[in-house]
């Protein structure tokens, strides 16, 4: 009889296949399965020599190939396909077996699945995995949620598969039920904001300063050596520098400006709206993608609403530094908002998320990995009680230093007619946050006028209503 496998992976498209290869390369015995056998055979033929694989041709065979309690990672499309695979597996499983969903599932689905499977004594782990295809193979950042017992069983395997930074694996138990997928969702939301900010910086250099893609690539390559040092800045330089083989121009100039999305950014914004957390950068990034996806409407508007050609400006080191500062300050705001969303969701769903730990496991493997995350990790270690990431000394000082340039960039963009929704909304958030008194007093007055919604006063306790249209007197309610 063949030796039983430590881990099963079902769903062998690129992410699943790479994850299975990663596990096998780390010395785990991996049973592999896919609905159509071709993928399984292809994996074994191409990569079977990389480690101990057990190829299986049916769900029964797959489940029987695993040592108990079984640990099965499913890597299929989020939504119904995930439910379908679970339904196929469950009749063959025993109590105490573990199903790990490594897809980008909606956290509320994960909560439901966890509850339903717990009723059958099957443990369900919703595990966010970030790092794309290469990360899945070489070592991703992994964000598992679910019962502690499941984590204890899978930890020795998944921490081996994750990348490590300074000897610490980028994989840790996030919290119960949907916590892991929620953290991954917010990771993706931050990824959206980060990319939108980068695109706006690029647009300013291209449109206001007339710089060529190649020149902008050099700017990003330089930025990658400072505070902005990150995977996304690094690959921005690479993408901008790439020449199109067919035309000889910069490839980026040949790519249509219509961004697509699979949904995690939108989910982040939806959840934030439900929780009442102001994540303006992420939400603007989602809207910017939506606007980009309306090319016909934009073409019509470009004709009907055209503006005078812009006086071309020249970018010197001061102008480039100004854009860099605006990007950095906005990025701090975007992360501060994302972490606040995690904090609020943690309270709402009873997850007890450890924000410092999340920053720790985002330092490597994932798409938003950055030197910056080290600072966030340190910030949570030393100033955990700051009411916002933005108020931790390191980030507060960074934003204050960049503030003037940030304003100048937003003014320049507004004057030039270049849309910078993420830069501008981050700045608006910053200005709104640091004002002890905003204009919501007037909103309250208006609400009370038309709907008797009441208001509270600075000078005394209680809730009040003014009889506006009647005699104008105030009553305590
Ligand atoms: C990751 C990525 C990954 C995926 C995004 C793309 O962390 O590895 O975020 O999950 O590439 O979901 O999202 P959009 O298609 O919505 O841009």
C-beta 130 within 6 A of ligand 1: yes
C-beta 131 within 6 A of ligand 1: yes
C-beta 259 within 6 A of ligand 1: no
1 in a domain, yes or no?
no
The confidence score (pLDDT) of residue 351 equals 98
Residue 70 makes CB contacts below 8 A (sequence gap 6+) with 8, 63, 93, 94, 97, 98
The confidence score (pLDDT) of residue 128 equals 98
C-beta 134 within 6 A of ligand 1: no
The confidence score (pLDDT) of residue 307 equals 80
The confidence score (pLDDT) of residue 472 equals 97
Tokens of residue 117, six digits: 């499977």
Tokens of residue 211, six digits: 């710089």
What share of residues in the chain are helix, strand, coil (percent, to 5)? 55, 10, 30
In this structure, the answer to whether residues 218 and 72 fall within a common structural domain is: no
Residues involved in catalysis: 184, 191
Among 154, 177, 200, identify where a domain stops. Answer: 177
Q: Residue 420 C-alpha to ligand 1 middle, in angstroms? A: 22
In this structure, the answer to whether residues 333 and 453 fall within a common structural domain is: no
Among 177, 199, 224, identify where a domain stops. Answer: 177
Q: Residue 239 C-alpha to ligand 1 middle, in angstroms? A: 17
Domain with residue 451: its CATH number is 1.20.5.320
In this structure, the answer to whether residues 29 and 94 fall within a common structural domain is: yes
* Count of structural domains, the chain: 3
Please spell the DSSP secondary structure of 264-314, one letter per residue: HHHHHHHHHHHHT---HHHHHHHHHHHHHT-HHHHHHHHHHT--PPPPP--
In this structure, the answer to whether residues 387 and 372 fall within a common structural domain is: yes
C-beta 18 within 6 A of ligand 1: no
**Atom 1 in ligand 1: which residue has the minimum CA distance?**
130
CB 415, CB 207: distance < 8 Å: no
In this structure, the answer to whether residues 166 and 306 fall within a common structural domain is: no
Residue 155: domain span: 7-177
Q: Residue 404 C-alpha to ligand 1 middle, in angstroms? A: 33
In this structure, the answer to whether residues 23 and 144 fall within a common structural domain is: yes
Pairing of strands 464-466, 168-169: unpaired
CA neighbours closer than 13 Å in the CB half-sphere of residue 86: 27
The confidence score (pLDDT) of residue 312 equals 78
The confidence score (pLDDT) of residue 384 equals 87
Per-residue pLDDT in tens (0 to 9) along the chain, 477 residues: 579 999 999 999 999 999 999 999 999 999 999 999 999 999 999 999 999 999 999 999 999 999 999 999 999 999 999 999 999 999 999 999 999 999 999 999 999 999 999 999 999 999 999 999 999 999 999 999 999 999 999 999 999 999 999 999 999 999 999 999 999 999 999 999 999 999 999 999 999 999 999 999 999 999 999 999 999 999 999 999 999 999 999 999 999 999 999 999 999 999 999 999 999 999 999 999 999 999 999 999 999 998 877 777 899 999 999 999 999 999 999 999 999 999 999 999 999 999 999 999 999 999 999 999 999 999 999 998 999 999 999 999 999 999 999 999 999 999 999 999 999 999 999 999 999 999 999 999 999 999 999 999 999 999 999 999 999 999 999
CA neighbours closer than 13 Å in the CB half-sphere of residue 326: 33
The confidence score (pLDDT) of residue 1 equals 58
Quote the pTM value: 0.97
311 in a domain, yes or no?
yes
């Amino acid at each position: 009889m063949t030796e039983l496998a430590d881990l099963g992976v079902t769903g062998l498209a690129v992410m699943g296949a790479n994850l299975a290869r990663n596990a096998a390369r780390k010395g785990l015995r991996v049973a592999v399965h896919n609905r159509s056998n071709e993928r399984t055979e292809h994996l074994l033929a191409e990569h079977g020599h990389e480690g101990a694989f057990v190829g299986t041709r049916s769900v029964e065979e797959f489940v029987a190939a695993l040592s108990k309690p079984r640990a099965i990672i499913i890597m299929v499309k989020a939504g119904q396909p995930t439910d379908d695979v679970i339904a196929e597996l469950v009749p063959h499983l025993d109590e105490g077996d573990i199903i790990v969903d490594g897809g980008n599932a909606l956290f509320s689905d994960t909560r439901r699945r966890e509850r339903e499977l717990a009723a059958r004594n099957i443990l369900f782990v919703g595990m966010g995995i970030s790092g794309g295809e290469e990360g899945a193979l070489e070592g991703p950042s992994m964000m598992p949620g679910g019962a502690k017992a499941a984590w204890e069983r899978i930890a020795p395997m998944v921490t081996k598969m994750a990348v490590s930074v300074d000897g610490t694996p980028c994989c840790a138990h996030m919290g119960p039920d949907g916590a892991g997928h929620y953290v991954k969702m917010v990771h993706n939301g931050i990824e959206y904001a980060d990319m939108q900010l980068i695109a706006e910086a690029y647009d300013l250099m291209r449109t206001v300063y007339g710089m060529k893609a190649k020149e902008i690539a050099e700017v990003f390559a330089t930025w990658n050596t400072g505070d902005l040092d990150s995977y996304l800045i690094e690959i921005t330089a690479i993408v901008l520098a790439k020449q199109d083989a067919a035309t000889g121009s910069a490839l980026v100039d040949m790519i249509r400006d219509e961004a697509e999305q699979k949904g995690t950014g939108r989910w982040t914004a939806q959840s934030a709206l439900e929780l009442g957390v102001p994540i303006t950068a992420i939400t603007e990034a989602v809207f910017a993608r939506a606007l980009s996806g309306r090319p016909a409407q934009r073409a019509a508007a470009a004709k009907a609403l055209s503006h005078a050609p812009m006086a071309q400006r020249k970018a010197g080191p001061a102008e480039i530094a100004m854009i860099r500062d605006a990007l950095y300050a906005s990025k701090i705001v975007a992360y501060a908002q994302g972490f606040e969303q995690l904090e609020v969701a943690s309270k709402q769903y009873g997850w007890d998320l450890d924000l410092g730990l999340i920053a720790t496991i985002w330092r490597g493997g994932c798409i938003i990995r950055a030197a910056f995350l080290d600072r966030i990790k340190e910030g949570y270690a030393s100033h955990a009680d700051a009411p916002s990431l933005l108020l931790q000394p390191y980030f507060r000082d960074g934003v204050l230093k960049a503030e003037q340039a940030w304003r100048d960039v937003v003014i320049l963009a507004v004057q030039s007619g270049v849309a910078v929704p993420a830069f501008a909304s981050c700045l608006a958030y910053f200005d709104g946050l640091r004002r002890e008194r905003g204009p919501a007093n007037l909103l309250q007055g208006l609400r009370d006028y038309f709907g008797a919604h009441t208001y509270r006063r600075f000078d005394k306790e209680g809730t009040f209503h003014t009889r506006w249209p009647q005699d104008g007197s105030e009553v305590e309610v």
